Amino acid sequence: MYYRKLFFFLFFSVLMGQMSFQSSPQHDKWAIRVYNGYATYRPLIAIITYADIPRERHNTGIRGIDFSYKLVRGWKNLPIDWSIRAGYIHHFEKGYQPNHNQYTLFFLGHYQKSVFGFPVNFFIGEGLSWAELVPFVEGRETRRISGKDSQLMNYLNVGFDLKISDLFPIISYNNLSVGFSVSHRSGIYKQFKLFNNTQGGGNFVTFFTEFNF
């Protein structure tokens, strides 16, 4: 419940225009993110607009790690950065099918804002995801809607993070952040043969720690 309230507060602050721009002083180009999450049956738009993040009844989950490299900082003199990321995700399928791995490659856009005095980094990523097996909950959804599934899918990663040193000023370590993100795979409405012309997808709510260096 705490995470849902925090998520709701930050995202609606953006929508209501209550924040001012603030660029990040971070100059490190590399980052490692480790995360843990669970499947939810709610659509992506419901998650990011009003933090509707219930756990899906099969209780499947993921753990993962992303490596990233900052490509552009302060794009067009705006508080916008661009990075490229590669990720490894392990799926825990609770006996419904074998556990398996997923691999992602995507570009991430970062947008820095100050939320009531707290610098927050919002981000959205776009790329590709390939899974050794179609994730159980995702496959049930895509086969229900389109009669198909696909190991290769479009990938989105949306969320925000805050530096530990901004949350707790007594801690002067600036390289560590904590955050929330949604890991999303979908077939983009049957539009692409690359994704086996599937419709539907799957969402995982994740909480992470990220280290910049």
What domains sit in the chain, N to C, each tagged with a CATH number? Answer: 2-212 (2.40.160.20)
pLDDT band at 14 (very low <50, low <70, confident <90, very high): very low
100-106 average pLDDT score: 98
Residue 171: its pLDDT value, please? 75
Residue 85: its pLDDT value, please? 98
Q: Is residue 137 pLDDT above 90, yes or no?
A: yes
Rounded to two decimals, the pTM is 0.84
With DSSP H G I counted as helix, E B as strand and the rest as coil, what are the percentages for the chain, rounded to 5? 20, 50, 30
Residue 108, beta-bridge partner list: 83, 125
Angle at 186 between CA 124 and CA 189, to 5 degrees: 115
Whole-angstrom Cα distance, residue 185 to residue 76?
30
pLDDT band at 27 (very low <50, low <70, confident <90, very high): low
Angle at 205 between CA 201 and CA 208, to 5 degrees: 135
Q: Is residue 109 pLDDT above 70, yes or no?
A: yes
80 in Cβ contact with 74 (< 8 Å): yes
Question: How high does pLDDT run on average in the chain?
Answer: 87
91 in Cβ contact with 102 (< 8 Å): yes
Residue 133, beta-bridge partner list: none
Mention every residue, 6+ apart, whose C-beta is less than 8 A from residue 97: 133, 136
Q: Using alpha carbons, list the distances in angstroms from residue 64 to 35, 68, 134, 139, 207.
A: 5, 13, 16, 20, 10
Q: Using alpha carbons, list the distances in angstroms from residue 184 to 115, 127, 152, 161.
A: 26, 10, 12, 18
Whole-angstrom Cα distance, residue 182 to residue 86?
16
Residue 21: its pLDDT value, please? 37
pLDDT in tens, 143-192: 999 999 999 999 999 999 999 988 887 777 789 999 999 999 999 888 88
